[in-house]
């Protein structure tokens, strides 16, 4: 018979890690749930994948511990727990108990000490132990029967694994931690002693005692630091040593997984809006949930289910996670009249983006999301891209069924880079909107859905956060990801069905759309992926030249002004021009002060030499910062070329625009501008060809007006 296996979950470790790894999720009522969902997902996945019989979840209790008595500065550097995290602790404790998992919080000690004690008791009882944690301190407990497992990264360490990772055996982790110290817990350690140094010392002298005994042999500044820390090192060792003899209310033979209280769990999941957990649980009970379609739920790990979800009347969206799901999706797509598809990635740059997932729709209000690389705590197993490409590649690369996307050029780029060529690309909802009414404003999905469907879409910021706290889509949980991503494919199809008939009804627009705009997409794709070669060395030399010229202009400005000042400061410039030099301002700012913008300086350039010097300085500064400095930074390291983006649906006139960088706006009227253009080069054996219409707008005006003078001129 196999030995019993006890799972010791470090709840406190995962609470903090989930809180910082996930966005600030809240319920519709404003209750924070990010850490709650993250830890809940991790535990549910563990229960599904491991099927444990003996398990316990351990959390830190409130109040001081014996280490605070040992050292009054212990953990003094830790910031106060955020209120939004504190608010999730009691709900999490309730969730754990309701799931049937034994719970421990012992006053006077830390969660690590409870885990350490249980680990040693389990070993003595001839049980195997799995330490479910991300805390490296607990690796000191690893042994023949004790495994350290970080479920977030799926890293599992036995004794050999600990030595490979840290360079020391598990029985030397305490000495290792005592030497390196811990700034978060305020364990002193040896100043400036990092992991490599600690490993080196322990390799030479075997133990902390050996290192201390040989401190005089260590040279340099780090040797001085070691000798200065000799008095505090025993304290550091005591602080990082996990206690293994706590008095606990339950023994290891009492830590058995119980049947969950399903009624309370359902109430909990509904209250905190755990949609996926609720679907999974009610798939077991056979009960129906408002807003959840009655579709068979498969037990494939926590959050690993395929379920149809009616999202506030938005549509029935499914997530694809198993081979059976993939086969069913392939069959569905093959028989479709048209396939609407969309890529979810980790970057807005299609030539650098990694694929996170794919969404598909073949009829309105029904869509699928196929996740590939979601990596948040407790994320389910996902199908590998190679397998997805093998199964779906033939239907997506075939000319039929036709394909539809919103701004399909981006998705084609991404999939091509991932080894899948899209065939039969025939429709683009962004281009449909643009052709139907180029002046309608923004042709992005959010604006179009509101304008043509009266529909409010889910914004990216709602699932990934914004600003500095915005996370990658790979870190978005499937509960949110499936709603957002599947909606993209669904709304794209709905927009197509709303706009395509409008274009077909007008032959001129139909011709522009089918013969010009859509066929142009693959052409622009190739232009963008080919990129253009630039001479980075020539641009660097040009930057240096302009830098020297700017320095000369600064000295000239100081000389004619009669004093030193900052040419980039409008306040100082205003004072010198209009107060000290007494020039008469021709323009004013909205607040009534004299203006120093380019037009204003041009108007007063006849009054004094300084305005002209400032204008020359600004011209050089703009050219240098915008082009000669910036262009080399935009060279793709994989191709050695600059890859601009060409936009079909921006300019009202129908012409293309260009960005990142704007290659349609490289200056030509100045000597420096012409030198910048000369940095765009062709490889050996090739030539750069420039082609342009001559005054096309005026030629059209001559044709439409029939004006004899204009017709004669053009």
* pLDDT tens-digit readout, 495-519: 999 999 999 999 999 999 999 999 9
**Given a cut of 90, is residue 41 above it in pLDDT?**
no
Confidence at residue 160, expressed as pLDDT on a 0 to 100 scale: 94
Report how many helices (DSSP H) and strands (DSSP E) the chain contains, helices first: 30, 17
Confidence at residue 313, expressed as pLDDT on a 0 to 100 scale: 42
Confidence at residue 287, expressed as pLDDT on a 0 to 100 scale: 41
**Given a cut of 60, is residue 627 above it in pLDDT?**
yes
Question: What are phi and psi for residue 214, nearest 5 degrees?
Answer: -110, 20
Three-state helix/strand/coil letters over 9-78: EEHHHHHHHHHHHCCCCECCCCCECHHHHHHHHHHHHHHHHHCCCEEEEECCCCCCEHHHHHCCCCCCCC
**Given a cut of 50, is residue 104 above it in pLDDT?**
yes
Average pLDDT in the 226-234 region?
A: 93
CA-CA-CA-CA torsion sign (605, 610, 611, 614): positive
Confidence at residue 277, expressed as pLDDT on a 0 to 100 scale: 83
**Given a cut of 60, is residue 456 above it in pLDDT?**
yes
Distances in whole angstroms, Cα of residue 1 to Cα of each of 4, 668: 9, 83
Average pLDDT in the 395-417 region?
A: 96
pTM reported for the whole predicted model? 0.62
**Given a cut of 80, is residue 436 above it in pLDDT?**
yes
Average pLDDT in the 277-295 region?
A: 51
Average pLDDT in the 622-633 region?
A: 92
Confidence at residue 366, expressed as pLDDT on a 0 to 100 scale: 93
Confidence at residue 690, expressed as pLDDT on a 0 to 100 scale: 84
Confidence at residue 417, expressed as pLDDT on a 0 to 100 scale: 94
pLDDT confidence band for 18 (50 / 70 / 90): confident
Q: Residue 550 is encoded by which pair of tokens?
A: 């700017």
Q: SS3 for 5?
A: strand
Confidence at residue 550, expressed as pLDDT on a 0 to 100 scale: 94
**Given a cut of 60, is residue 693 above it in pLDDT?**
yes
Cβ atoms 426, 404 nearer than 8 A = yes
**Given a cut of 50, is residue 291 above it in pLDDT?**
no
Average pLDDT in the 470-477 region?
A: 92
Question: What are phi and psi for residue 712, nearest 5 degrees?
Answer: -65, -40
**Given a cut of 60, is residue 306 above it in pLDDT?**
no
**Given a cut of 70, is residue 173 above it in pLDDT?**
yes
CA-CA-CA-CA torsion sign (189, 190, 195, 197): negative
The DSSP string of 417-462 is: HTT-----EEEEHHHHHHHH-TTSS--SHHHHIIIII---PPPHHH
Residue closest to 627 by CA, chosen among 666, 569, 682: 666
Q: Which residues pair with 540 in a beta bridge?
A: none
Beta-carbon contacts of 393 under 8 Å, excluding residues fewer than 6 positions away, are 420
Average pLDDT in the 610-636 region?
A: 92
Confidence at residue 38, expressed as pLDDT on a 0 to 100 scale: 86
Cβ atoms 641, 531 nearer than 8 A = yes
Residue closest to 37 by CA, chosen among 22, 20, 53, 57: 22
- Rounded to whole angstroms, how far apart are CA atoms 79 and 604? 57
**Given a cut of 90, is residue 341 above it in pLDDT?**
yes
- Rounded to whole angstroms, how far apart are CA atoms 628 and 408? 32
**Given a cut of 80, is residue 22 above it in pLDDT?**
no
**Given a cut of 90, is residue 691 above it in pLDDT?**
no
Confidence at residue 489, expressed as pLDDT on a 0 to 100 scale: 97
**Given a cut of 80, is residue 75 above it in pLDDT?**
yes
**Given a cut of 60, is residue 521 above it in pLDDT?**
yes
Average pLDDT in the 232-255 region?
A: 93
Percentage of the chain exceeding pLDDT 70: 95
Cβ atoms 65, 112 nearer than 8 A = no
Confidence at residue 197, expressed as pLDDT on a 0 to 100 scale: 94
**Given a cut of 50, is residue 132 above it in pLDDT?**
yes
Average pLDDT in the 126-148 region?
A: 94
Residues in the chain: 714
Q: What tens digit of pLDDT does each residue of 313-340 get?
A: 467 899 999 999 999 999 999 999 999 9
Task: Using only the alpha carbons of the chain, give its radius of gyration.
Answer: 33
**Given a cut of 80, is residue 284 above it in pLDDT?**
no
pLDDT confidence band for 167 (50 / 70 / 90): very high
- Rounded to whole angstroms, how far apart are CA atoms 371 and 355? 9
Whether the link from the prior residue into 336 is cis, omega within 30° of 0, is: no
**Given a cut of 80, is residue 294 above it in pLDDT?**
no
Residue closest to 643 by CA, chosen among 533, 543, 542, 550: 533
Average pLDDT in the 146-175 region?
A: 91
Confidence at residue 314, expressed as pLDDT on a 0 to 100 scale: 60
pLDDT confidence band for 29 (50 / 70 / 90): confident
Average pLDDT in the 687-699 region?
A: 85
Average pLDDT in the 675-697 region?
A: 88
DSSP label at residue 534: E
- Rounded to whole angstroms, how far apart are CA atoms 236 and 285? 52
Cβ atoms 665, 626 nearer than 8 A = no
Considering 34-38, 411-415, 535-539, the range whose residues carry the highest mean pLDDT is: 411-415
Q: pLDDT averaged over the chain?
A: 89
């Amino acid at each position: 018979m196999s030995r019993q296996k006890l799972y010791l979950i470090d709840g406190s470790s995962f609470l903090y890690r989930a809180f910082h790894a996930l966005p600030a999720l809240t319920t519709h009522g404003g209750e924070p749930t990010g850490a709650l969902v993250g830890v809940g997902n991790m535990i549910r996945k563990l229960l599904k994948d491991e099927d444990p019989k003996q398990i316990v979840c351990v959390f830190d209790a409130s109040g001081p511990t014996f280490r605070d008595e040992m050292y009054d500065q212990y953990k003094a550097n830790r910031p106060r727990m955020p209120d939004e995290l504190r608010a999730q602790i009691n709900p999490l404790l309730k969730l754990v108990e309701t799931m049937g998992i034994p719970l421990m919080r012992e006053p006077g000690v830390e969660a690590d000490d409870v885990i350490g004690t249980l680990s040693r008791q389990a070993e003595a009882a001839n049980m195997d132990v799995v330490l479910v944690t991300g805390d490296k301190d607990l690796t000191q407990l690893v042994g023949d029967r004790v495994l350290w497992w970080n479920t977030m990264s799926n890293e599992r360490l036995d004794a050999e694994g600990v030595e490979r990772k840290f360079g020391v055996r598990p029985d030397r982790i305490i000495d290792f931690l005592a030497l390196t110290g811990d700034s978060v817990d305020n364990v002193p350690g040896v100043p400036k002693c990092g992991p490599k140094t600690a490993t080196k010392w322990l390799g030479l002298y075997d133990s902390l005692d050996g290192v201390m005994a040989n401190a005089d042999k260590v040279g340099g500044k780090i040797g001085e630091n070691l000798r200065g820390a000799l008095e505090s090192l025993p304290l550091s060792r005591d602080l990082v040593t996990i206690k293994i003899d706590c008095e606990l209310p339950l023994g290891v033979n009492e830590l058995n997984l119980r049947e969950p209280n399903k009624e309370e769990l359902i109430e909990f999941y509904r209250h905190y809006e755990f949609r996926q957990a609720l679907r999974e649980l009610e798939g077991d009970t056979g009960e129906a949930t408002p807003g959840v379609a009655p579709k068979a739920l498969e037990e494939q790990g926590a959050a690993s289910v395929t379920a149809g979800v009616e999202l506030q009347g938005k549509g029935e969206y499914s997530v694809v996670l198993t081979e059976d799901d993939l086969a069913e999706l392939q069959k569905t797509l093959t028989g479709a009249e048209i396939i609407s598809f969309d890529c979810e990635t980790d970057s807005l740059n299609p030539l650098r983006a990694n694929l996170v997932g794919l969404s598909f729709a073949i009829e309105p209000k029904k869509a699928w999301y196929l996740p590939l690389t979601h990596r948040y705590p407790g994320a389910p197993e996902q199908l590998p891209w190679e397998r997805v490409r093998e199964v779906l590649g033939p239907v997506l690369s075939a000319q039929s069924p036709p394909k539809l996307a919103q701004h399909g050029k981006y998705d084609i780029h991404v999939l091509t880079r991932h080894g899948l060529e899209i065939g039969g690309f025939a429709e683009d909802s962004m281009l449909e909107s643009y052709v139907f009414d180029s002046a309608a404003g923004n042709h992005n999905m959010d604006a179009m859905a509101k304008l043509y469907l009266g529909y409010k879409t889910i914004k990216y910021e709602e699932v990934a956060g914004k600003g500095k706290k915005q996370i990658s889509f790979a870190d978005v949980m499937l509960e949110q990801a499936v709603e957002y991503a599947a909606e993209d494919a669904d709304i794209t199809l709905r927009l197509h069905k709303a706009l395509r008939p409008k274009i077909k009804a007008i032959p001129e627009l139909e011709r522009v759309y089918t013969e010009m705009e859509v066929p142009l997409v693959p052409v622009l794709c190739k232009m963008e992926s080919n990129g253009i070669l630039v001479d980075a060395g020539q641009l660097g030399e040009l930057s240096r030249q302009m830098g020297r010229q700017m320095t000369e202009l600064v000295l000239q400005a100081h000389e004619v002004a009669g004093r030193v000042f900052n040419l980039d400061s409008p306040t100082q410039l205003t004072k010198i021009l209009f107060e000290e030099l007494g020039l008469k301002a021709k323009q004013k700012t909205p607040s009534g002060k004299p203006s120093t913008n380019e037009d204003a300086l041009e108007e007063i350039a006849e009054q004094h030499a300084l305005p002209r010097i400032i204008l020359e300085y600004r011209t050089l500064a703009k050219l240098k910062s915008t082009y000669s400095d910036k262009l080399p930074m935009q060279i793709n390291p994989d191709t050695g070329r600059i890859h601009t983006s060409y936009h079909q649906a921006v300019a009202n006139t129908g012409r293309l625009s260009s960005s990142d960088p704007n290659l349609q706006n490289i200056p030509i009227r100045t000597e420096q501008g012409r030198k910048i253009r000369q940095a765009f080069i062709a490889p050996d054996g090739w030539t750069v060809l420039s082609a342009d219409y001559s005054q096309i707008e005026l030629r059209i005006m001559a044709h439409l007006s029939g004006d004899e003078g204009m017709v004669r001129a053009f």
